[in-house]
Amino acid sequence: MEGLTDVPARWITPEGVEKGTDTICIEEALSLSVSNGSDISFSLGVTMRTPGNDIQLVTGLLYSEGIINSYEQISDFNINDDKIQVIVSDIDEGTVSDFNRRNTSTASCGVCGKESISNLLHIHGPALSKSFTIDSSIIASSIDLLRSQQKLFHDTGGTHACGLFDINGNLLFISEDIGRHNAMDKLVGSVLSKSNEIFLESYIIFSGRLSFELVHKARRAGISILVSIGAPSSLAIDIAVEHGLTIVGFAKNNSMTVYTGRTRIINS
């Protein structure tokens, strides 16, 4: 399976020592750049990710940072090993400096290399649905479904997952990566290539904690409900309150904590 590799390992237990090979998740660099195909070109730096679905990863990243507003703006992808250049024909030269990154983004950091997060916080998406609600029992069953579909995690225990579900708890899209923000970008990129209207009547479940980058990416896409197996950060909650998102944390074992947007979660 793409994104996996085997390495020598030694297991030490009270019963003794066993030698063999273990399957782990790959973490590799991907160099990103954007061009209008002629006179404008700039770098988005290097991001560390799990190989696989790289086009979706880059598409989601460009959308979340406001470089594109739709998939149709992308003319082409130039792929050369660990480098991807995205051709976006209508790049505005006056805003190129807003998008430059200065260094490497690690797998645990979605905004590393950015000089400021203020530009991100001013990027908006479609109006969030105020009528979309979901039953807490459906969220509970969706968590089990997401876990059953985490193929990379099943083999390695080393990846995060991001799942998009409809109102009935059906899994629409799933993505995995060693980085939480990468998993989100891959999912957003996958949906954008179909129709971003899918986001308006669906919700997302994350396999780990909920940071502000993930809330920003969801807000940008038009997702109104975010559910996390772990805890949200203070800034994640602040952004959710400001923009009207629903944040649910510690969703496991048929229980959950609703932090913001409580009216969207129904307890039947």
Contact between 260 and 214 (Cβ < 8 Å): no
Neighbours of 16 (CB within 10 A): 7
Beta bridge partners of 164: 173, 204
**Dist. CA 61–CA 193, nearest whole Å:** 13
DSSP 210: B
Q: What is the dihedral of CA 167, 172, 177, 182, to 10 degrees?
A: -70
Residue 136, helix vs strand vs coil: helix
Element (H, E) at 132: none
Residue 112 among the catalytic residues: no
Query: Phi and psi at residue 19, in whole multiples of 5°?
Result: -100, 150
Query: Could you tell me the sign of the dihedral formed by the alpha carbons of 185, 187, 192, 193, in that order?
Result: positive
Give me the active site residues, please: 109
